[in-house]
Structure formats: C-alpha cells, structure tokens
Chains A and B, each alone.
Chain A
Amino acid sequence: MYLKKLALAGAVSLLGSTAAFACSYENEVPLKSLSAGFEAWKAVTDAMAECGNFEAELDQEFRQKQPAAFEANPSLYQIGGVSNGTITPLLNAGTIRPLDDLVAKYGQNLNPNQLIRVNGQIMAIAMMVNTQHMMYREDILSDLGIEQPTSWGDVLAAAEKIQEAGVVDYPLGATMKSGWNLAQEFVNMHPGFGGAFFNADNTAAVNSDAGMKTLETMKALLDYTDPEVLVSDSTYVQQQFQQGKIAMANLWASRAAAMNDAAESQVVGKVKMSAAPVAMDGGAPATTLWWDGMVIASNITDAEADAAFRLMMEGLDEDMVTDNNDAAIWLVAGYQPGPLAEGAIATATATPAPPPYPSTTQMGLMHTALGNELPAFLTGERDAAATLAAIEEAYTTAAQEAGVLE
C-alpha cells in the first residue's frame, strides 16, 4: 500500500465524518445505539450516521449489556436493535417506550407489516425478517438425478445418494455448535413435528413424542455431516459451502448472499435456495420466523426520542435498501427480492406457516437448557429419553430460580 494512497484515503475518511452526505436533514441531538453487528445492522447504522451526531455500537454480545443499559436513568443508549428473542427483557422491564405518536408523526413510509404491536401498542419497528432455508448445490443434485428435497426424509435420502457418489466431503452441513446454535436446531425441528415447548402452567412439554422424533432426526443427520459438527456455527457452514465441501444445508437466509461472492466462494451460481424442509407430511417448514428491528428507550427525554425516531426513519429509507438489497430480507419499501431470497420467502409464505420464535421469558430458559443438555445426546453419552428428561429438569430448576415456576 503506497503512502500516497493511504494519505488520500485518510483525507477522504476525514471528510466523510464531518460532512453529512446523503441525509435529508442534519441531526443535532447526540444519539447512541446498541445493536447486534451483522451486515444489515452495518448498512442501517451507516445510513443513520450520515445525519451526524450519531454513534453506533455494533456488538454481537449486546444482550449482555442491553437490559442493564436501558434500565439506567438516563438510558445509556437511545436506540436499541433487537430481535424477537432479545426484545423480551426490555418489554418485561418496561424500559422501551410505545411509538404510536412518533409513527404518526414521522412514519408515513412505514409498512403496516413493520409495526410490532404488543396489546395494540407499537413497541418496535421491524426492518427485516430472517429464517432458515434449504440451500443446495443444484449442479450436484441434478447430476445425481435427485429431486429438490422438500422434507427432512428427502434430505436424508438425498444425502445417502450424495454420500455414495462421493462428490463432496460431507453431503450435509449443519449449524450445531453446542449452545445457542444447537438449541436453535431443536427449536426449529420440534414445532415441525407438531410439538409444543410448554404446558399451560409453564412446565416443560418437550419430553413427548415430537421431542423423540426431533432427537432421532437430529441424530440421523450426523451420519452425513462433518464429524466436527458440534463446533460448527453458521460462518463455518457458510465457508464449507463456499469451498465446495458440502452439498446441502438448512441455513440462515442472511447467509445466502455469501454464496455468490466471487472473492470468497468457489461455487458462485451453483447454490440454489428453497423452502426449509418440512418435518412431517402436511406440517409447516421446520423452522421459526425471526425479525430484527429497532426500539427506543423510555428513560430519555421526549425531545431525544423524537430525534431518535426521526433518525431511525432515515436509516430505514428506500435509499438504504437499494444500496444493500441483498444484505437481508428487508421489510422496508423498495426491497426487490432476488433469486437468493426465493427460499426464505417460500418458507415464510408456506401453508401452514412456520411459527415466529416465541418472545417469552420461558423460551429463553428453555433455549439455554436445550443448548446445555443436547450435546451429551449427540456425542452418544446419553440416550434420547434421558436427554429429554434432563432438558426438562434443567428447565425446571432455571424456571424456579427465575420465578416462572413455583
């Protein structure tokens, strides 16, 4: 890198931080936000920063700080980025404000679909949806004469054929890194078998027929995945795909764009997306629907809230979406679903539709219990029945400590 180029770039970046380029107004109230750090958040916060006086903190471990930071008075951040999981503690503690009046004032361009309502009040503005979808190497499947798989049964059969043909290292990729990712796989599959997580009295209900079937299916997948699957998160699966090591995976929709990134991928144009497979005939795709969006703190002045909402609208405008069309499945007006989004949209619009990930205190506890107890089953230390019992027991202990159960 030549010094001249460095100096030039430095000068440009200095200019960029002072002048407000693409913003329609100049923001004069100092504002801060705390959100997760993936591509879509980068796009939105960059668009917001163009208005000036705004600092974004992008941190994937934001959930550690967010509830406490919003509870401080005044709140340490005016704007928060949440998903349907992480909005729960903020709603429970009453640290985010209803946005109805602000939507009326600035929200003309918002889609009714974007307004997250709790008991009629608008509590958050959604910007994107995320879900899992089936990604597969079209070239391999058509070479071997395999139909596009629509159920997990099909996936296993196809995996068997690919294994026999030996065209890739492992037929399947799976995001089964122990902890949150692995638990999410169970959370996807279990409702697909018609299972519920809780009884009416908040006790756990996973020790059921659906629970057994879910575990069986998960274990069946292991025959076709990388033996190191218990350390593989979505980035790892994405890399395996890019390097042509796997042929199929049920992966997050936000990962689709990476398949066609010529700088990283060796399989550009060869990966196709379809709806997440169903677990049983006539069931919904075995996945959950997620949304990501923004909230505004209650412990700030109304003037700050006003400025914060206005800035949010600037970040969620059409220009931002046009510039970052493939970064997410946007809910914002102006989004043009490309071929990469086909699978996610097919998943979300399937009948019956997959359920949204439940935003409840119990679900958080259940997710942790699943993440801690499932690995012992997959490594073969414990059988399915004992695992389900252990999950229920771990959940019960945690729920009693959290005050959800007596």
Chain B
Amino acid sequence: MASKAMRQSVGLRALSNGFLAFWCLLASFPILWITVMSFKAPRDAFAASAWDVITGPETRAAGNGLSVLDIIVGITVLYFTIRWAFGVLPGLVRQVFPSSLIVLGWLVGAAAYAIAFIIVFFGILPPVLGVLNGLLGPLGEPIIGLTTIHYYSVWVENAFFRNFLNSLLVTAGVVTISLTVGTLAGYGLARSGSNLAFWLLIIALVFRALPHSVLVAGYLPWFINSAEILRPLLGDISPTLYGQPWAIIAVLVAINQPFTIWMLRSFFQNIPSELDEAARVDGCSHFQAFRRVIMPVMWPGVITTGLFSFLLGYNDFLVTSLLLDAQNQTMVPAIAGYFNRETTTTDQVEAVAAAVSIIAPLFLLVMVFQRQIVSGLTAGAVKG
C-alpha cells in the first residue's frame, strides 16, 4: 500500500489511528485490569474506586508496595523484554535452529525466554531493589501497593503447577493428534471431488454446530462405567476412562475435527494439485506424494490450524470439568473451583491470580506465533 495514490488524507489517517487506539484500549483493558487486581489485597482489589484499585492503599498499609525506583526499573525491564521478544528473540531462534525444526525452536526459545524473565524479574530484581530502596530514603518509600501473595498461594500452597502440567499434557496431545489425523483427512478431502467428500464436509459442519453440553453429558455414564462395559472385550485390563487425560484428549480431538479438516482442506486446495500429480507421474503412490511433496510445503497452514487446536484444548471448560477428576484436572476447571464453592473475597482474588496465570502462556504463544498466524492464513487465504 505504499503507492502514492493510496495514501490517506490527514483526517482519515487520524480517524483510522484513533479508532485503532480505541480498539487496543478496549481489547486490552479487561485483561490489564484483572492483572492489576491480582496484585492487590482483597479489600483493594474489589474497591469501588478505580484509583484505590490501582494504588492499593490497604495493600500498601500492610507493608507491600513499590517505590518510585521500583516502578522505573520495572517498566524499563518490561519494555526491553517486550522489544527483544519481537526483535532479538526471532533472530536468535532462526540462528540456532535449522528451518526444519523451527516450530520446536520457537517453543524452546519462548519457554527459555519466559523462564529467564521470571528469574530476572522476580528472582534478581527484588533483593537488589530492596537494598537500593533502603539506601534511597524517602524516594525508596512504597507509593503503590502491590503484593504477590496470591500468586504464592495459588502456585505453591494450592499446587497449581500440577494443573499446569495436566494442561500441558492435554493440550500437547490434542494438538499433535488433531493435526496428524486432520492433515490426512484435509488432504484427502481437498483432492477428492466426489459427492461423498462434499457430504462428509457438510456433516462435519453440522457436527461442529452441536451444543457441546449434549455430547458431554452423553459421555459421562459411559466413561464412568467403561471398565464394566469393556470387560467382556478386553478382560481385566479394561480401563475406567473417567479421569484419564488420554480419553479427554480423544474427546477434544473429535470435537475439534470438523474445524480442523475444513481449515486444512482450504490450505491444501491452495497447494496446486499439479505438484502431487507430477510426483504421481514419477511413480509415487498418493501417500508417498503426500509425504515427499506436500509435507514440506504445508507447514504454514498446519501451524495456524495447530494454534486453533491449541486454544481449544487449553481453554476447554465443559469437557474437562465433567470428565476429569481432581488429580488430573487442567487449569481452567481448576479455577472454576475457586468461584463455585462457598468463597471468600480472598478466594476470589486468588482466582483472579490463577486466571492471570492461565492467560500468561497464551500471551507468550501469540507473541511468538502471530507472524505465523497471519502468514499462514495469507498462504491459505481460507476459502469457505
């Protein structure tokens, strides 16, 4: 859009940028706000005045707070963290990992980056600043209340890391299986012009429209009694599916299949079929053609679809809350426990802290993959 004729008038540009600024505020405000709440004492977090929530007088009175120096240093560190995440990190990843392993590279890079940030921000900064604040006198006095006590109770006392690991397991399973199964089906559907293929797609679409609560409530008795039901078939090894993460993975993959195959079919349709036809002329079977010719060029589409699968697995509430027991519970149903039971205000602030903890990895993921989302969608230019 660099051409001169395309350039917008000043008024239009102001309007357009103003709209963007407004939208960004709207998009980020609720998330920013719950993040602020999660760092305050219960009375501050639910105070009626916005100013009290931000400054946290009660929290400060309890001796937890940030001084001017803390704030300046903190903002500087945050600024560079975000800049490097967009600038330095991608370069590093590309240097270290070969392009065939780039997805893995991104994940490892992002995780290492997050850990480094946590160590610097929460491990090294506080003691250093503690000493400096002591030396500074009045400038070192806390002016904004802030406490990490809720995160401490959530992660350490309530062992939230267990839910975190369960979430990782379920999400990883959903993404891998969903993509493996879905890529094959998507390719098959894209290359078949038969009516059967069309009706499969339409039925898949109707499946996608089903209310999940209907499906899930149908599973519960089968999952709980599966050991009894399967015994005649499998003998004593027949498992109780209820509470098993891999059973949940299967359910989520199935629920997600319609979307996955639609999406991937569109991507494959955009890969010219001359490519695999050429390979077929050279004597490859369809599977070989798929492996040698299609697989190397399909990654942008697969990564984008994979992100959607990731979101589904990671964010699911209905399936996981009903079919997993406490030991295998993922993060989202685990925080619902904070809201549903007879709660106190403290419980609620802890729940907010848990909620922010759930969002943080998503943050990281989008930061890392947003280029891929856009380029993947552009490459596939999803056609309905």
Contact = CB atoms under 8 A, between A and B. Distances in A.
Chains A and B bind each other: yes
Interface of A: 1-3, 6, 9-10, 13, 32, 36-39, 55-61, 64-65, 68-69, 71-73, 76, 234-235, 238-239, 242-243, 252, 254-255, 258, 261, 263-264, 266
A258 B344 contact: yes
Given A76-B224, A263-B41, A266-B43, A37 B240 contact: no
Interface residues of B, number: 40
B106 to A, nearest CB: 27
Interface in B315-372: 321-322, 325-327, 337, 340-346, 348
Q: Is the interface of B mostly helix, strand, loop or mixed?
A: helix
Nearest to B223: A68
Contacts of A234: 342
Given A1-B122, A60-B340, A68-B224, A264 B151 contact: no
Contacts of A6: 152, 156
Contact of A59 (B148, B224, B326, B343): B326
Contacts of B283: none
Q: Which of B126, B220, B224, B322 has the most CB of A within 10 A?
A: B224
A9 B225 CA distance: 40
A10 B156 contact: yes
A348 to B, nearest CB: 19
A234 B343 CA distance: 9
A32 B326 CA distance: 10
Given A2-B127, A9-B156, A37-B340, A263 B43 contact: yes
A55 B159 CA distance: 14
B151 A254 contact: no
Contacts, number: 99
Interface string B107-142: 000000000000100110011000000000000000
A242 B345 contact: yes
B277 interface: no
Contacts of A37: 337, 340-342
Given A3-B123, A13-B157, A72 B43 contact: no
Contacts of A68: 220-221, 224-225
B39 to A, nearest CB: 11
26 contacts: A1-B148, A2-B123, A3-B119, A13-B157, A37-B337, A38-B342, A39-B342, A57-B325, A58-B326, A58-B337, A58-B341, A59-B340, A60-B337, A60-B342, A64-B220, A65-B220, A68-B224, A72-B240, A76-B224, A76-B243, A235-B342, A235-B344, A242-B345, A243-B48, A263-B346, A266-B43
Nearest to B126: A2
Nearest to B58: A263
B227 interface: yes
